[in-house]
């Protein structure tokens, strides 16, 4: 056993060396093969009567009319145009080239390259050394702390526009959250709990509501059923608040239910204008359950305090949660930037700053904006209204477009309220990208920007929304190649149709120039090798 295990590394090393040697020699093998083909063509020139064949082929081509060449170039232009359209659609939908993807996944292993599966955990740094990719946790989907009410807000949008603001993937994640959050110990499920477990999994909203009423008929104190009705059936915030209060009376000592209901009640109070009451409820909830920081209740508190313009209290909350050891969010980073920008933005002038330079306070504000933009580069375009906002999803991806939509939806008004803050953001946010090292595998203040955000955001955001992508992807080579091929062949078809004789002269001159090196090579071979040698080869 020891011998066998000890020989494995050696055999693996030999295999890797063999693969690397084959991949290294592949280019040179191609050149050798090409040279051998040329030699074989020259050797078999007389036995196979290639000269007569080329002569007959040239006679045949000379008899073809210009219409044939027009049809040939037009057909090739049409085919390359269809390939271009498909490649462009595939790139817009999936962010990559179909031809490139097929080539990498199927042809690269055959050519001695490293398979894609083996490179998922590593990528090369500037020095060529392998570095670990960002962990999967950076692409984790989080519950939106300020998610809207389905019945009172999301459904109203659907009634007005006819569009679905939530994707199936997003709603499925919410169903899993509710099922895990409200069912508790599956060993001691009551009959109404079993009904609610199925209710959260129902795809049809009306089926969920019917199941909730069925659970209430079985037990009128089923708190989870009232939560579902408040979320999905209530058409106003007032009605939702009434149902949540009823659910709270039956919640008992279930911590998950208590935290969820009290948080939603605080959000109802915030939406109904009772902001001080909402702030008190959120503070009490954070004191009562201090270990539930993962629920990000402090983000609800920050938004409510900004509405009250209680900036000192906002700074106190940031001092507690904007810590290096805690996970960041767009709310934390951009609220910190807003407070620092607010202190100088009312008197900020880009012309004056360029003449005299930035003061210490202005420099702090600009650095805070750069820090926020590096964390989530999608937010500024929504705050500056360069992109249209949509309703935020129920789940967000930190540093992604979904988080940017959720933040700007609730915080744009606070930036507008601070005089000059948006002007300062407009003048300075793009300077962030000059600070971030290139390539983007190296971060500046945060970990490198994860490459999984685009795929996850496309799952979380509705199809009618144009997902913001960072960094902007360059057009794949095959799209540019097919575009050039389509344009070139279309131009040839048009010129051949308009000027058939001139294009015929041009084609003959082109092919004679193309085959001139072959003739030169044949003459050199004849002068270098004796004729008897070639005669013996032809006899063989």
Q: Which residues contact 467 (CB under 8 A, 6 or more apart)?
A: 401, 454, 457, 458, 461
What average pLDDT score do residues 330-358 get?
84
**Greatest mean pLDDT among 6-20, 81-95, 115-129, 195-209:** 195-209
> Who wins on pLDDT, 411 or 469?
411
What average pLDDT score do residues 2-16 get?
49
For the chain, the domains span 328-491
> Who wins on pLDDT, 246 or 76?
246
Give percent above pLDDT 70 in the chain: 69
**pLDDT at 529 (0 to 100):** 60
What average pLDDT score do residues 117-132 get?
34
**pLDDT at 256 (0 to 100):** 86
> Who wins on pLDDT, 337 or 504?
337
Provide the residue count of the chain. Answer: 540
| Digit-coded pLDDT (tens) for 129-167 | 333 334 434 578 899 999 999 999 999 999 999 899 999
- Of 252, 244, 140, the C-alpha closest to 193 is 252
Give percent above pLDDT 90 in the chain: 31
Least confident piece of the model among 1-15, 244-258, 318-332, 392-406: 1-15
| Digit-coded pLDDT (tens) for 272-294 | 999 999 999 999 999 988 877 67
> Who wins on pLDDT, 484 or 259?
259
What average pLDDT score do residues 232-249 get?
94
Angle between helices 500-528 and 2-43 (to 10 degrees): 110
**pLDDT at 232 (0 to 100):** 92
Going by pLDDT thresholds of 50, 70 and 90, the confidence category of residue 311 is very high
Q: Which DSSP category does 386 fall into?
A: S
What average pLDDT score do residues 290-311 get?
88
Mean pLDDT of the chain: 77
Residue 400 structure tokens: 């992604």
Going by pLDDT thresholds of 50, 70 and 90, the confidence category of residue 60 is low
| Digit-coded pLDDT (tens) for 371-390 | 888 888 899 999 999 999 99
Q: Does the pLDDT value for residue 102 go beyond 60? A: yes
**pLDDT at 134 (0 to 100):** 40
**pLDDT at 442 (0 to 100):** 53
Q: Which residues contact 177 (CB under 8 A, 6 or more apart)?
A: 143
d(CA 163, CA 159): 8
What average pLDDT score do residues 197-202 get?
86
d(CA 115, CA 107): 10
| Digit-coded pLDDT (tens) for 428-437 | 887 777 666 5
Long-range contacts of 161-167 (CB under 8 A, 24+ apart): 163/462, 163/464, 164/462, 165/390, 165/391, 165/393, 165/462, 166/393, 166/394, 166/462, 167/393, 167/459, 167/460, 167/461, 167/462, 167/463
> Who wins on pLDDT, 501 or 263?
263
d(CA 350, CA 428): 9
**pLDDT at 131 (0 to 100):** 37
Going by pLDDT thresholds of 50, 70 and 90, the confidence category of residue 538 is low
Residue owning tokens 């292993």: 109
**pLDDT at 14 (0 to 100):** 61
Going by pLDDT thresholds of 50, 70 and 90, the confidence category of residue 209 is very high
> Who wins on pLDDT, 324 or 253?
253
What average pLDDT score do residues 258-263 get?
92
> Who wins on pLDDT, 194 or 90?
194
Radius of gyration of the CA atoms of the chain, in A: 34
Residue 285 · residue 256 · CB < 8 Å: no
**pLDDT at 355 (0 to 100):** 76
| Digit-coded pLDDT (tens) for 460-502 | 999 899 888 876 655 666 677 777 777 777 887 787 777 877 7
Geometric angle at alpha carbon 474, from 469 and 480, rounded to 5°:
140
Q: Does the pLDDT value for residue 449 go beyond 70? A: no
């Amino acid at each position: 056993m020891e011998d066998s295990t000890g020989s494995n590394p050696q055999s693996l090393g030999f295999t890797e060396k063999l693969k690397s040697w084959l991949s290294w020699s592949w280019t040179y093998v191609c050149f050798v093969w090409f040279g051998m083909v040329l030699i074989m063509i020259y050797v078999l020139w007389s036995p196979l009567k290639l000269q007569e064949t080329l002569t007959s082929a040239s006679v045949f081509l000379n008899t073809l009319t210009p219409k044939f060449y027009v049809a040939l170039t037009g057909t090739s232009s049409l085919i390359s145009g269809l390939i271009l359209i498909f490649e462009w659609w595939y790139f817009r939908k999936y962010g990559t080239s179909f031809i490139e993807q097929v080539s990498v996944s199927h042809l690269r292993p055959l050519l001695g390259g490293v398979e894609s599966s083996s490179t998922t955990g590593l990528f090369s740094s500037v020095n060529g050394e392998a570095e670990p990719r960002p962990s999967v946790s950076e692409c984790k989907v989080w519950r939106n702390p300020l998610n809207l009410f389905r019945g009172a807000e999301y459904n109203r949008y659907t009634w007005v526009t006819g569009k679905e603001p939530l994707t199936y993937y997003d709603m499925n994640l919410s169903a899993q959250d509710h099922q895990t959050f409200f069912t508790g110990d599956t060993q001691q499920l009551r009959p109404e709990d079993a009904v609610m477990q199925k209710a959260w999994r129902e795809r049809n909203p009306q089926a969920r509501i019917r199941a909730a009423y069925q659970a209430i008929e079985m037990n009128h104190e089923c708190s989870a059923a009232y939560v579902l009705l408040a979320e999905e059936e209530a058409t106003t915030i007032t009605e939702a608040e009434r149902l949540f209060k009823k659910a709270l009376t039956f919640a008992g000592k279930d911590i998950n239910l208590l935290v969820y209901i009290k948080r939603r009640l605080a959000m109802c109070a915030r939406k109904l204008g009772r902001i001080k009451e909402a702030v008190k409820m959120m503070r009490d909830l954070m004191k009562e359950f201090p270990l539930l920081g993962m629920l990000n209740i402090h983000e609800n508190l920050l938004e409510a305090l900004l509405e009250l313009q209680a900036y000192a209290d906002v700074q106190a909350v940031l001092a507690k949660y904007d810590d290096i050891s805690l996970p960041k969010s767009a709310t934390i980073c951009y609220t910190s930037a807003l407070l620092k920008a607010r202190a100088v933005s009312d008197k900020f002038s880009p012309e004056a700053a360029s003449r005299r330079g930035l003061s210490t306070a202005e420099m702090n504000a600009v650095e805070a904006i750069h820090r926020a933009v590096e964390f989530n580069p999608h937010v500024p375009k929504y705050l500056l209204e360069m992109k249209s906002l949509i309703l935020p999803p129920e789940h967000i991806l930190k540093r992604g477009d979904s988080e940017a939509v959720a933040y700007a939806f609730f915080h744009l008004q606070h930036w507008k309220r601070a005089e000059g803050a948006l002007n300062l953001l407009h003048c300075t946010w793009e300077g962030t990208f000059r600070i971030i090292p290139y390539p983007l595998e190296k971060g500046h203040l945060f970990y490198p920007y994860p490459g999984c955000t685009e795929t996850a955001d496309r799952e979380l955001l509705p199809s009618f929304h144009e997902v913001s992508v960072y960094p902007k992807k360059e057009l794949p080579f095959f799209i540019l190649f097919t575009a050039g091929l389509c344009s070139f062949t279309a131009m040839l078809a048009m010129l051949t149709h308009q000027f058939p004789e001139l294009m015929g002269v041009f084609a003959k001159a082109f092919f004679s120039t193309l085959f001139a090196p072959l003739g030169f090579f044949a003459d050199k071979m004849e002068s270098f090798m004796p004729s008897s040698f070639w005669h013996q080869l032809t006899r063989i």
